[in-house]
Chains A and B, each alone.
Chain A
């Protein structure tokens, strides 16, 4: 069974803390993505990576950074957490190939609250 696993389901952090969200996939996918999901705004792309050590900014990268040291792991870092980063964070992975095999698989999500 294919799997994308996020390290935490729920997190509560204080303003100014450095926060790490971890994502691991077991499908040998090249592409990995971090999104945040807020009511009425849908999934917004923060960063994505198409290979180890490669990263590309998505639509809302400000206040975030990422790390991809190994193919199976993609980490999202909040350098100094702020209350407007309270959200649901979703990690996904996909292959770069054409066709139905290009579908993205999602982790279960991390609900982050910054107080």
Chain B
């Protein structure tokens, strides 16, 4: 199975950069996903990594190191609407099981 860890909370100022780390242990890795979830809403997809390196998508970037079992989500030029929970999820190669970390609540302050 997977063991996925990420910080509980982070606070940053509007316009700044925040990096959310995620570490995982899995018996068979087949991709890492980041999701955003606003309060009272369903999670929405942000990014996907399956090979080592950086994937950039506008203000959001995600990095993966498979050998270290480590990923981060980088949020640049923070806006108030980025206040949300960010979920790291790992897919298992053997049975497509998708497991989530507990989520990181990011609060953006003016």
**A residues apposed to B, CB below 8 Å:** 31, 33, 35, 40-45, 48, 50, 56, 58-59, 90, 92, 94, 96, 98-100, 102-109
Contact = CB atoms under 8 A, between A and B. Distances in A.
Given A48-B97, A56-B95, A103 B48 contact: yes
17 contacts: A31-B96, A42-B87, A42-B101, A42-B103, A48-B96, A56-B95, A59-B99, A90-B42, A94-B96, A99-B48, A102-B31, A103-B33, A104-B45, A105-B45, A106-B42, A106-B43, A108-B41
B63 to A, nearest CB: 16
Most buried by B among A40, A103, A104, A108: A103
Interface in B6-51: 8, 30-31, 33, 41-45, 48, 50
Given A42-B101, A50-B96, 15 more contacts: A33-B98, A42-B100, A43-B87, A48-B97, A56-B95, A58-B97, A90-B42, A94-B96, A94-B98, A102-B31, A102-B91, A104-B33, A106-B42, A108-B41, A109-B42
Contacts of A58: 97
B75 interface: no
Interface of B: 1, 8, 30-31, 33, 41-45, 48, 50, 87, 89, 91, 95-103
A68 B87 CA distance: 27
Nearest to B85: A42
A68 B16 CA distance: 46
Nearest to A97: B96
Nearest to A56: B95
